[in-house]
Structure 1
Amino acid sequence: MKLFFASDLHGCLESTKKVVEAYHASGAEHFILLGDILNHGPRNPVPEGYAPAQVAELLNQYKDNIISVRGNCDSEVDQMLLDFPVMSDFAIVLLESGQRLFLTHGHLYNQNRLPPLKAGDVLAHGHTHLPVAQSMGEYVLFNPGSSTIPKGGNVASYGLLDGTELSVISFDGDVLVTTQI
């Protein structure tokens, strides 16, 4: 199974176009959005190319392939523009191996406030805009970074689960971090 991850688009059309292009190139079966899709939020600058309605139109074309969770900048108004559900605080995806992916944005559940996980599960979240793919002992922590507002000196990125390998990848194709699950 191949899964594509993106987070923290924050309404930027140019970044979303790059994300969709990378999704197509990846050959992934599903497109996972880890929140903060349309709104830039009050703590972030308005991104260049801010066009939330156009971002919604573009993403709606993939509604049958998207699994999404609510970010701290997402609201009921955003849901009115999107043809796929975005208001759930988390989703759980069962992998063929029996491991679970706990998908969330990161503002409610994160490595400092863990959801119920079993050994080998993956906690996947955005929110920090920092790329992470590492074993935490009992579970794996994964964050695809941000395609629009990367932080900590990082470049814009997305994530990919290919078999048992979780990777964060730049839009230039460089693998930034990777781990096995």
Structure 2
Amino acid sequence: MRILVISDTHGEMGKVYEVYRSLKDIDMIVHLGDLKSDANDLEEKLGIEVAGVKGNMDGARTKEDSSMIINTEAGKILLTHGHADGVNYNLTQLYYRALEEGCVAAFFGHTHVPHLEESGEVILLNPGSLTRPRDGSDGSYAIVETGKDGIKCDIRYYRKSTKPRGGYIKGLINYSDRF
């Protein structure tokens, strides 16, 4: 199964639709909160299965209100917004929660910063935010592939322009008096 994982769209869906149209063979979208209504809109407009959870901006206060578990060929995956799991401070609580639930991975949002950690028995993945990134990028998302052999996660970055950026030499030439 090939999954597009996004988080923290906050009602700004333009980049999400652009990214989705550029990808091939997506079987499911996971939306990790803020806002759950964005997940509902994706499912309705794209006609694809969307697993979405509520975030703190949806009024979810507890772990139960802001999480769910999905089953994949690779095993169970915990989906959570993360605010109720303390992901702003460290990921230990989330890691042990995933272990207790028998999950091979935990996907979370809330921080707006991408993170991928394969430590111990659980993969921890935060796709960052496409619309309100806090890492200095133009936004990010993740592609996850699950199968009998396991799970593979890849964080990808949104690019405003497809034009290649020039390097140091190009800058010298463009902004010099030609030496």
TM-score, length-scaled by structure 1: 0.68
SS of residue matched to 1:24: helix
SS of residue matched to 2:5: strand
Question: What is residue 28 of structure 1 aligned with on the other side?
Answer: 26
SS of residue matched to 1:150: coil
SS of residue matched to 1:22: helix
| Distance change (3 Å), C-alpha of 1:153 and 1:30 | same
Kindly indicate whether the alpha-carbon contact (under 8 Å) linking 1:130 and 1:154 is maintained by their aligned counterparts in 2.
no
TM-score, length-scaled by structure 2: 0.69
1:105 aligns with 2:81: yes
Whole-angstrom distance in 2 between the partners of 1:28 and 1:18: 16
How many angstroms does 1:172 deviate by?
Answer: 2.9
1:68 aligns with 2:52: yes
- Measured against aligned partners, the alpha-carbon deviations of 1:89-145 in whole angstroms (never above 9, x if no partner) come to 211111112x21100001012423222426761110000011111212221110000
Identity between Structure 1 and Structure 2 (%): 30
Can you give the 5+ residue segments of structure 1 that lack an aligned partner in the other structure? 40-51, 77-86, 174-181
The structure that has the greater radius of gyration is 2
How many angstroms does 1:154 deviate by?
Answer: 3.3
- Measured against aligned partners, the alpha-carbon deviations of 1:66-101 in whole angstroms (never above 9, x if no partner) come to 11001000149xxxxxxxxxx94211111112x211
- Structure that is richer in helix per residue: 2
Matched length = 145
Can you give the 5+ residue segments of structure 2 that lack an aligned partner in the other structure? 161-179
Question: What is residue 68 of structure 2 aligned with on the other side?
Answer: 91
1:136 aligns with 2:119: yes
Which stretches of structure 1, 4 residues or more, deviate above 6 A after TM superposition?
A: none
